[in-house]
Structure 1
Amino acid sequence: MSRSKTILLLKEKQIQADSNVDIYEQKFRELGNYEILYLPLLEHSLVNISELTNILKNEADNKYRGVITTSQRAVEGLKIAWEQAFFSSDEKKDVLDKWKKLPYFVVGKSTAKAIRELNVNPFGDESGSSEILADYIIKYFSCSSQERENSQQLKLLFLVGDKRKDYLPNKLVESGFILKELLIYETRPNSLFPNELDKLLNYEKKIDWVVFFSPSGVDISLELLKNKLFEENDIKIASIGKTTSNHLEKIKKINVNITSPKPDAESLAKSIHGYNQ
């Protein structure tokens, strides 16, 4: 039997499937002999939950046409504020119904699944990146002649992290949208990452692939990985989405072997397995 391929995922935390089996291990195992390792890079803290709660309570009539949440962290913040705003749903049922009628724009299946827990429908989860989502939102509203005529009045609530990129908001504003942007979470490096990397390398296990999930993850880990892992090993690089690949190749001058076309475990597993074949 051939040696298993070892995949190192540089992700904030492990994503669990409904069966409690790790979804990445599950998808790779379906395709071949793979072993999955994790190193948590980032820590997140929610902010401005009280402000978001007030928006949900008091601004349902403020002509919002939709809500944008491009990450699970943003949805986590929205869920907490949602529960605080509508804890007594009988008294606020009319306000709650107005928010539920709006489209909620997301990137990726994991974020879509989190949004569904609020009993609202996600849109754009097949986009795969915020750039494509921006085009999706523009097309979504342009399909309505009434909305198109009133494009200058199209106001969206945009829940963001402190590392968000400019393309999506810039593209929407240029297209006539009004964005109410609210910082909902902040990201900081995991202070234990260097120690955890040393522990992993001490296992003397050959790592075949390193997977980056975000530009901020690249910034936190790349120099340490160069010094301790890349120099003496033939490591293949994978990334989730074009934004992360561009950051690696154009900013950090690191060759990316494959870019997963969608931000989910199945797409990543198929892309790496196809490359190995």
Structure 2
Amino acid sequence: MIPEVCLPITVIVPTYNDGGYLGEALSSILSQSTPPEMLVVVDDGSATADAEEIVTVLKAEKNIHTQIVYLKQSNQGPSAARNAGLKLALTPYVAFLDADDRMLASNLATMWQALNELADDYFGVYGTYCDLETGKPYPFADLDGCIAPDKVGKKGGVAGGVHTYLFRTYHLKSVGGFDESLVNNEDFDLIIRLLRTGLKCKGKVTTCFEKRNRMGSLSRPWEPLLAYNNTLRFLQKAEKSGYFTDKELVLRRRSTQMNYAKLLMKQGKEKEAVNIWHEVFKIKPSSIREFYHWVIYQRLRFGKKIG
């Protein structure tokens, strides 16, 4: 049975210059069908006091039963911000939300019911997310158990983003939380490390939140080269640690390169995009997505107009 007042959950929200969106994100948490016991907002060195002012207003509202905590630190990135929030979490369960996304109204209650029924060797349950503009959910699979890392963060696999999970707090702390040397794919890394200890997860429970596809937030750097290099850093760790099969590692590297080329094209940097695609297509296309990129590459290579 769900508690009448609050769920034994801490929701952690890192923010960095997200004042225009943060209030909406926090309201979506506090207006849950059953709200969490604790909400921790970690300001990762924002240039303004917007986040603190938003939290101050919310704390003054009399009908809120959730304990709201505000913490400001120097800018250290999303992993450090989430770890700072995790240190303050006193509840047995923890969830995460980005400052520019919106949690759906019954998410916490639905996820808590699902996880509370599972044995302690389940580190968490996962759902999915939908695009804020289209409402289309991402097609993760309904899987249960100690899932192979190759399936993390992929269509037809398990969720890679931590925002789609409800976790048992002690399992997160047992693996040391987030790797603060990673800026991109730090959540994939966390899920994989949990699975590699032999722990389990279960999903797809529900649609958890609406995702705003906005580049430039704390967890979605806007600069293509920065995001590209940060993702390669994760893949280097993955190779060294043996996270993926050899085939999967190659596929993820190729996907990272194609995403980078696509972003370069949007910035009008066709020559740079061609150089990246040249590296990718030393191996022939092996999927419809790769073939689509290969066609663009060939047209640019031979001077044909795109579109």
Same fold (TM over 0.5): no
Q: TM-score, normalised by structure 2?
A: 0.29
Q: TM-score, normalised by structure 1?
A: 0.31
Which has the higher relative contact order, 1 or 2, with Cα contacts under 8 A spaced 6 or more apart?
A: 1
